[in-house]
Amino acid sequence: MYAKCGLMRKAKDVFDKQLTQNVVLWTSLIAGYAEHGQLIEIFHYNEEMRQQGIVPDTFTFGFILRACTGLQDIEKGREIHDEIYQKGFLDSDHVLGSILVDMYAKCGYLVEAMKVFEKLSKKDVVSWTALVAGYTAYGCFEKALECYRNMQLVGVAPSRVTFICILNCCGSIGALCTGSDIHLQVTLMGLES
């Protein structure tokens, strides 16, 4: 509760008073720092948690990867990716895979983002959109359009975020016809407002 409300000092006080600090407590604390943009603290508490012999779970790893993304710390992100891979978490947790794709894409490592994406057992709208957004942000507009088309070919419906990214892409390269088609799709889905 304190962490969700941004009262991190109070959350840490309650945390420190617990007789046993399990992965759920650590993750709750780390999530609070993530939610309120205090990303450096996530790395600090990740290390402290490990020193106490607590192994991160998929939720904890997700928050740590988001911190890597926010801080553009690709080296730490790769280290966490390796650990996640070794634990076999990518085989069972497609959300964690999508977060990895997003991290690599937002840090500009688009080849790595695509490699992770290709290995995902379930490719959902989040992972597709992370690729589209990454390609658009780094000026790979044709790749963004190709990714968007492939997403539709396999039957994954775009989200609002996908549409924002791909319309931005169309505007950047002057793809008026494609942009008009997407605008029509947005309207038909009732998302125009």
DSSP per-residue codes, 68-136: HHHHT-HHHHHHHHHHHHHHTHHHH-HHHHHHHHHHHHHTT-HHHHHHHHHH-SS--HHHHHHHHHHHH
193 residues of the chain, pLDDT tens digit each: 898 888 999 999 999 999 889 999 999 999 999 999 899 999 999 999 999 999 999 999 999 999 999 999 999 999 999 999 999 898 888 889 999 999 999 999 999 999 999 999 899 999 999 999 999 999 999 999 999 999 999 999 999 999 999 999 999 988 888 889 989 888 888 887 7
**pLDDT at residue number 190:** 84
Model pLDDT, residue 16? 92
Distances (CA, A) of 177 to 140, 157, 171, 183, 184: 19, 20, 11, 10, 11
Nearest to 59 by CA among 46, 78, 40: 46
Tokens describing residue 133? 């957004």
Rounded to two decimals, what is the model's pTM?
Answer: 0.89
Q: Maximum Cα–Cα distance for the chain, whole Å?
A: 63
**Nearest-CA neighbor of 45 among 20, 34, 100?**
34
What pLDDT does residue 47 have?
95
Q: Give the C-alpha separation, 39 to 188, whole Å.
A: 39
Contact 141, 174 (CB under 8 A): no
Per-residue pLDDT, 126? 94
Alpha-carbon gap, residue 176 to 170, rounded angstroms: 7
